[in-house]
Structure 1
Amino acid sequence: MEQHDLSIREEALVLLRRGVTNRAVADRLNVPRGTVGWWRHEDRKKRGEKFEHPTDCPKCTGRGFDREAYSYLLGLYLGDGHIISKPKQHHLSIFCTDTWPGLINAAESAMRHVMSLPSVRRRQRQGCVEVKSYTQHWTCMFPQHGPGKKHERKIVLEPWQREIVDAHPWAFIRGLIHSDGCRNMNWTTRLVSGERKRYEYPRYWFTNVSDDIRQLYTDTLDKVGVEWKHCTRAGKPYNISVAKRASVALMDAHVGPKY
């Protein structure tokens, strides 16, 4: 490491203790950022100061946040999301199929609208993109996080989460559909004047193994006036169907197909 005059180091420490960033100090004094970071680390250790990453976590700071974006992100998390929370690794991941670039953008946007400070990155995987936001504070925002798979543990919303979902039910439904649901075309046949004709109609599907998550979905559908029914496939009652014309029209107006 290049040796620097003691006076430069002392000047750097004065600026750092005032809250000036490493980058700004490095640029001002023409010193490598790595050197400034080391000086800051040694100064903190000498003074017994424990470093804590800055956070804009709404639960920890009490600040306001985009509640509609959170309702959508909650739906995504309950469907295709998970949180890694280890001593040196913390992030929220949402998995999005490659064929839905709009969904990928929406997931990233929701993360940034709920907490803007954590870095957000995309990681290409086979057939999908993992959208990741790095901070341990996602466990504050999603207290449903825990060991094991979601369908193997109880999933219950906290009162403050319930208030948000009640205020923004369509955002929550949209997040669930975007993660574990779809809009497709079904067909059947009918006799018309003695002739059998093919009839197509749109349907929304939602599939999730967790009884609790399916219940959250259907309870929210009830609140917005959408009719639904359980559909058992291969003996598994994991599917929720919305096929009534008026209900599909409501879903089209507020959710729509993935894109």
Structure 2
Amino acid sequence: MEQHSPSIRAHAVALMRQGVPNRIVAERLGIPRGTVGWWRSEDRRARGERYEQPTDCPRCTGRSFDRAAYAYLLGLYLGDGHIVSKRQQHHLSIYCNAAQTGLVAAAEQAMRQVMPLPSVSQRPKPGCVEVKSYTRHWTCMFPQHGPGLKHDRPIVLEPWQQAVVDAHPWEFVRGLIHSDGCRFTNWTTRVVAGERKRYEYPRYFFTNKSDDIRKLYTDTLDTLGIEWTHCTRDGTPYNISVARKASVALMDVHVGPKY
């Protein structure tokens, strides 16, 4: 590290104590930002001051937040999301199909709308994009976080989360479909007047191993008047199907296919 005179250091510390950001101090005095950050850390240590990372966590600060965006993000998290929590690393990750650029953008936007302060980034991976947001406070917003896979532990919404879902049910359903669901065209054949004909019809599928998450989905569909059925896979009802014409039409209006 380059040596600087005690007077320069004292000047920098005085500016920082006045609330001047590190970047401004570095630019004003012609000092590397890393040096300024080190001096700030040393000054805090000398004064016995403990640094607390600033946060705009709604649960910790009591501030209002975009509840519709949270309902959507909650659906994404319950489907293809997880939180990594280590001593110095805490982040929320949502995995999106790399080809569905609209979904990637929507996931990033929802994170920023719920908590604007934490940094958000995209990390390309084979066949997918990991949308990440760094702050340990995502565990405050998603108390369902815990060790192990979601389908191996109870997933229950807290009352404040259920109130958000009740107020924004379509956003929650859309998040679940955009994570663990899809819209596709099914087909079948029927014999009409002695001739076998092929018929095609759209259907929404939601697939998740967690009984609790599937129930959150179907309970919300019930409140919206959407008819659904269980479809078994290897004898297990992992799949929820919406195939009735009127229900599919409603889903098309409020959810639609991934893009």
TM-score tier, shorter chain, comes to: over 0.9
Counterpart of 2:82 in structure 1 is 82
Matches within 5 A, 1:15-94: 15-94=15-94
Q: Deviations over 1:67-87 (max 9, x none)?
A: 100000000000000000110
- Aligned ranges for residues 104-123 of structure 1 at < 5 Å? 104-123=104-123
Q: CA RMSD in A?
A: 0.8
Residue 182 of structure 2 corresponds to 182
Paired position in structure 2 for 1:170: 170
Superposition map of 1:159-238 within 5 A: 159-238=159-238
Number of corresponding residues: 259
Structure 2 partner of 1:240: 240
Provide the rounded CA distance (Å) in 1 between the counterparts of 2:62 and 2:14.
31
Q: Which SS does the other structure have where 1:140 is aligned? A: helix
1:20 deviates by: 1.4
Deviation of 1:4 after TM superposition, in Å, equals 2.0
Displacement over 3 Å in runs of 4+:
none
User: What residue number does 2:3 align with?
Assistant: 3
Give the whole-Å Cα distance in 2 for the aligned partners of 1:34 and 1:233. 55
Q: 1:249: which partner in 2?
A: 249
**Residue type matched to 1:160 in 2?**
W
Deviation of 1:5 after TM superposition, in Å, equals 2.6
Give secondary structure in 2 for the equivalent of 1:146.
Answer: coil
Supply the AA of the counterpart residue of 2:146.
G
- State the AA in 2 paired with 1:189: T
Report the Cα distance in structure 2 between the residues aligned to 1:163 and 1:203, rounded to whole angstroms: 29
Greater mean deviation of Cα atoms: 94-103 or 244-253: 94-103
The answer to which of 21-30 and 205-214 deviates more is 21-30
Structure 2 letter corresponding to 1:128? C
1:8 Cα shift? 2.0
| Structure 1 residue 193: Cα displacement | 1.9
1:126 aligns with 2:126: yes
Which 5+ residue runs of structure 2 have no aligned equivalent?
none
Rounded to whole Å, the distance in 1 between the matches of 2:207 and 2:56 is: 34
The structural deviation recorded for 1:6 is 2.1
Matched residues in 1 for 2:2 and 2:194: separation? 92
Q: Deviations over 1:38-87 (max 9, x none)?
A: 11011001011111111111111111111100000000000000000110
Q: Output the amino acid matched with 2:239.
A: N
- TM-score, normalisation: structure 1: 0.98
Moved more, 34-43 or 10-19: 10-19
Matching residue's letter, 1:138: W
Structure 1 unpaired stretches of 5+ = none
